[in-house]
Structure 1
C-alpha cells in the first residue's frame, strides 16, 4: 500500500478533497495531531495518526511529533538499494510516497509585527521543514509538496500513470528547497536584525506579480517583494498592468517627494527627475513641477506626497502622464480618469524603509548603505566672501535633496523651491552644467541657486556659471585639488559658495 504523510497549519476544504482522492487511489493517509483531528471531524475515519505508527506520543507541546526513524526511514529509503529495502523490512519501516506539509507561519507572524521573540520562536517549524527536506532529497521515489496549487498536477499524473512522474517530483522538490531557504532566511534575518552586513546575505523575496514587460517589450519580468517591506504594499487603484520601467520610476519618484514635509510633486522619466517643486498645496506643487519641463514630462511618472484633489486630478487629466503616485485618492476623484486607458494610479501611504541598497553585477551583488536624506543641520562651510541668505540656504538644501536622486554627473538649478534645470548622466562636469543651464534658460529667471553632486575639477565650471549670469549661490562637496581656483573665481564674480564635504554620486 502507498502512503501519504500530511500535516498542515491551515485546514481547508481543498485539502479534504485531495485526501479523499488519495484514499480512492488506495493510499494510506498518515497525519499529525491537529491535522488528524480535523480529518476525523470531516468524516475521514480512515486516516492514521502518526503516534500510532511511532508508538510514541507528541511531546513538549507539539515540538516533537514526527521526528522518529519509522517516519524518516520511510521517507528517505532508496527503493533501488537492496540494503535500504532489507533494513526497512527488518525494522518494520513502511515507505512513505507523498509528503505534503504546510509549515508553522513564522513568515506571516513576523510580517504582522509579532516581534516578541518568545512568541515568535514557537512558530519556527522544525519537524515540518525536516520532513520536507527529507522528502525532497529522495525525490527519485517521494513526492514532496508545500503548495496546494499543485494538488491538480499530482492528481492528474496519478490518474493517468498511477503515480507521479520523476520530472514532476524533481520540480516539486525544487519548490520545496526554494521555500525552505526562503523560510530559514527570514528566521535568520529576525535573529540578526541588528546586523546590517551579516557574513551570509540572505535577502528574501516572494513573487507578487507578473509585469506587463521588462525594460523592453521583448523582456519578460516579474515583481518580487521583500518580506516586511512596507514599501511593496502599494495598492494599484486604477489602470492597466505595471511594467518593469514603471516600478523603477515609481521608486525614484516616491523617494524624492517622501523627503519633504511640505506638499511636494515630482515628475520622473527614465529614472531621472524632470522637475521637482514644493507648494502651498498639491495643485501648486504640480503646476510648478510641470512648468519646469513640460516636454520631458510627457509620458512621465508623477508623484505627490499629499492627497490627490479633484481640481488637480482634472489638471492631470488634460496631459499625458503614465502613472500617478499619491498617499490617498478618494473614489470620486478617481472617476475623473475613467477615459484615461493608459494611466495608472498607485496609492502609497508609508515612508521609505530600506536601509541598504543592492545592485546586481555579473557574479554577485554590490551592497551599500542607503544615502540618507540631507538635513539642514548638516555641517557645511561657506568658502567665499559672499555669504548665503536664509532663503538661499533653504533653496540650496531643497535642491540638494533632489540632486542625490539624479544620475552622476548631476547638476540641479533651482528658483526657490522649484527646479528649473536638471542634468544627469553626463560624463564630465562642464557638460552637466551646460545642459542644466540650457534648460534653465527657458524660464528667464533671476536669483538662482545651483547644487552639484560632486566637486568641480576646474574653475571652468564657475566661468560657465558666471557667463550665464543668473546663479548667485552654489552648494557642492568640495575636495578638488583645485578648489582654491573655484573659490577665487566665485569671489571674482560675486557668487557665494559652500562646501558640504559630502558627495552624492548615483550610478
Structure 2
C-alpha cells in the first residue's frame, strides 16, 4: 500500500520527531518518555508516511511546552489540542498542491493565496450575549473559531467547533489570566499586511496562522468600578490589557481584519459575510475600526478617571463621554442641525406618545420637570421659552395644576407642563381642549392616557428620575463653560433687616415665590401668594423693567381671578437701586425676598421701611441665563 500511495499519506505524531518516535512510542507511552527524559518541550508533528516508522519527511510541527507538575495525561491533553489544529493545516497545504518532497525533505511553495475571505476568527468576550448564535453562524460560513478560557469552554460545551488559543501560541494562559493573547503568533496573524508579499512570507515562515476577524469585548471595568474601591485588587484585575491590544491591532489592520467590539455588531457582520460569500465590505470594516478605536479610548479614559478619584476642583482635562440618543429634525431653528446625547445609558424619561421631540421641547421639558421637583407638595409648573409662566401647589395635583394655569393662561398656550404626582383624568380632560406641546409626569392614570390618545401629536413624557450629579456644560465658540448645577434653594441665611417682620402667611408666600424665581430667566421677578404665582416678569435687561412686566401680568390676572389675600415679590438677584422695590410695593407686594449684597442695600432697606414692607435677605443668588 505504501508503494501505491507514496507521498500521499499524512500522519500526526504526539511529539517533535525525530525525538520520541518509532516502534513502541504511541499514546501515553510517548508522553511518559518525554517526562522521564526531562524534556522541556514536546509537541506535535505531521509527516509523510514511508517505510521507516515515524521517520517520513516532516510537513509541520507545533511545539508544546512541558510544564512543571505535568503528568502524562495533562501533557497528552495539550499535545492533542495541537495535533487537532496542525493536521488540518497540513492537509490543506497538501490538497492545495503546496507541498513538494526533495531529497527527503518537504519544501512548501509558500502560503496559500489571499482570497479576502474570513478564514479564522479569534473570539474572546466578557459579555457573551448573542455569542452562540453568532459563532454558529460563522462556523456555518466555514470560519474556523479560535477562543480563550471561558469563551472557549462555552463554545465547546455548546457543540460549536472551536480551537483553544494555545494551539496557536503553544503556550497556555498564565499569571491568573493576565497573559493569554499577548503573543507573536496572535498579533502576527492579525497585523500582517495581506497585500505585502514579505509580510505574508514572514508569517508563513514562522508558522503564524492568519486571523481575519477579532471578536472582543473588554473586562467590565465600569460595572466593577460601581462596587469596588479605587485601586482595589478587584478593580485592577478588571483592567483589560490583552483585549485592548487585540482591538487596536485589528482596527489598525482594518483592510484585512474585521474587529467586533459589541454584541450589536454580530448580526450586521454575519449578514454581510453571507451576502459577500465569506468576504466583508471594506466600508463595514472601516466603520467597525472607528467604533473600536473610540471604544478603547473611552475605556482608557474611564480607567484614568476612576483611578484619579473624585476631585473638589475641575480637572485639567475634562473627559465627557456622550452617547447619541437620536438625531433631531433641527436645532433651535430649522437651519441648525441637531442631535440629543446623554452621559448615561439613556435619558431619564420615556416618551409614551406624540410627535418627535424638538430641541426647544427638550429644553423646556427638562426645565419644567426640574422646577416641579423643587416642591414637596403636589405641584404643577408650566414653561414657555425656557421660563415658567405659572407655578402652583395644592392639596392634590388637580388643584395645583389649576393654580399654575390661572397665573397666565395666554402664555400657557403651546407650553410645556410638568406635575410631580401621577397625572389624573381631570387634568387630561381639561388639557384635551387646549393646545400644549409636552406633558411631563412621573406617571399617568389610565383614564388620562385614554383621553390623550385622541391627541396623537401631544408628547407625553414619563420621567423616571432627574439627575442629581449632573454638570452644566455650555459651549461658547470653541470653549465650554462647565459648572455644577444650581441645586441649592436656601443657604443658612434668612435675615430680616427691615423694621417690620414678615407675617406667617407672608413667610410662606416668600418661600414659595423664592422657589419659583429660581427657575425664571434673569432678571427675574415673581409675584405670588402662598401657593400660586400670580405674575412673572422675566428676561429683561433692567430689573425694574421686569417688575413693570410683572405688574402688567398681574393686572391681567386680576381680571379673571380674585385679589390674593397675601401678595409678595421675589427677585433672583439684589436690587441695585430702590426703584424696583418701590414699584413692586406700589403694585401691591407687602413683603419682598431677595439675596441682598448690593452697595445700595442700605437705601433699599430704608425704602422698604419707609413704605411699611417686610424684606428677607437670603444671601443666595439664582441667576439663570
TM-score, normalised via structure 2 length: 0.73
The match for 2:392 is: 277
Q: Is the CA contact 2:323–2:345 (under 8 Å) kept in the aligned structure 1? A: no
CA distance in 2, matches of 1:494, 1:136: 75
The match for 2:342 is: 225
The match for 1:200 is: 317
Q: Does the residue aligned with 2:590 lie in a helix, a strand or coil?
A: strand
Among 484, 491, 503, the residue aligned to 2:602: 484
What is the Cα deviation at residue 491 of structure 1? Answer: 2.0
Q: Does the residue aligned with 1:183 lie in a helix, a strand or coil?
A: helix
Query: Is the aligned partner of 1:499 residue 2:617?
Result: yes
Query: Is the aligned partner of 1:58 residue 2:173?
Result: yes
Q: Deviations over 1:114-149 (max 9, x none)?
A: 456665555443322221122112324432222454
Please tell me the root mean square deviation across aligned C-alpha atoms, in Å: 2.8
Change (3 A) 1:123 1:345: farther
The match for 2:29 is: none
Among 36, 48, 65, the residue aligned to 2:152: 36
Q: Deviations over 1:20-45 (max 9, x none)?
A: 3542xxx4332223333333344432
CA distance in 2, matches of 1:396, 1:312: 27
Comparing 420-429 with 328-337, which one deviates more in the overlay?
A: 328-337
CA distance in 2, matches of 1:20, 1:134: 23
Change (3 A) 1:273 1:401: same
Q: Which runs of 5+ in 2 are unaligned?
A: 1-111, 113-118
The match for 2:49 is: none
CA distance in 2, matches of 1:69, 1:402: 66
CA distance in 1, matches of 2:390, 2:309: 37
Q: Is the CA contact 2:493–2:617 (under 8 Å) kept in the aligned structure 1? A: no
Change (3 A) 1:286 1:193: farther
The match for 1:407 is: 521
Q: Is the CA contact 2:139–2:145 (under 8 Å) kept in the aligned structure 1? A: no
CA distance in 2, matches of 1:283, 1:158: 59
What is the Cα deviation at residue 95 of structure 1? Answer: 3.4
Instruction: Select the structure with the greater relative contact order (CA < 8 A; seq sep ≥ 6).
Output: 1
Among 481, 491, 496, the residue aligned to 1:366: 481
CA distance in 2, matches of 1:107, 1:79: 36
What is the Cα deviation at residue 489 of structure 1? Answer: 1.9
Among 441, 449, 466, the residue aligned to 2:555: 441
CA distance in 2, matches of 1:245, 1:106: 36
Q: Deviations over 1:470-494 (max 9, x none)?
A: 0111111222222222222222222
Among 338, 360, 380, the residue aligned to 2:453: 338
Q: Does the residue aligned with 1:466 lie in a helix, a strand or coil?
A: helix
The match for 1:134 is: 249
What is the Cα deviation at residue 237 of structure 1? Answer: 2.8
The match for 1:92 is: 207
Q: Is the CA contact 1:185–1:204 (under 8 Å) kept in the aligned structure 2? A: no
Q: Is the CA contact 1:474–1:498 (under 8 Å) kept in the aligned structure 2? A: yes
Query: Which is greater in Rg?
Result: 2
Among 368, 375, 379, the residue aligned to 1:264: 379
Change (3 A) 1:241 1:5: same
CA distance in 2, matches of 1:115, 1:241: 40
Change (3 A) 1:60 1:310: farther
Change (3 A) 1:359 1:172: same
CA distance in 2, matches of 1:263, 1:60: 59
TM-score, normalised via structure 1 length: 0.88
Change (3 A) 1:234 1:490: same
The match for 1:420 is: 534
Q: How many residues align?
A: 497
Q: Does the residue aligned with 1:260 lie in a helix, a strand or coil?
A: coil
Q: Deviations over 1:210-237 (max 9, x none)?
A: 44543344545433222378xx232223
Q: Does the residue aligned with 1:506 lie in a helix, a strand or coil?
A: coil
CA distance in 1, matches of 2:189, 2:291: 21
What is the Cα deviation at residue 19 of structure 1? Answer: 0.9
Q: Is the CA contact 2:596–2:617 (under 8 Å) kept in the aligned structure 1? A: yes
Q: Is the CA contact 2:325–2:341 (under 8 Å) kept in the aligned structure 1? A: yes
Query: Is the aligned partner of 1:466 residue 2:585?
Result: yes
Change (3 A) 1:90 1:142: same
What is the Cα deviation at residue 349 of structure 1? Answer: 3.7
Q: Is the CA contact 2:353–2:456 (under 8 Å) kept in the aligned structure 1? A: no
What is the Cα deviation at residue 256 of structure 1? Answer: 0.7
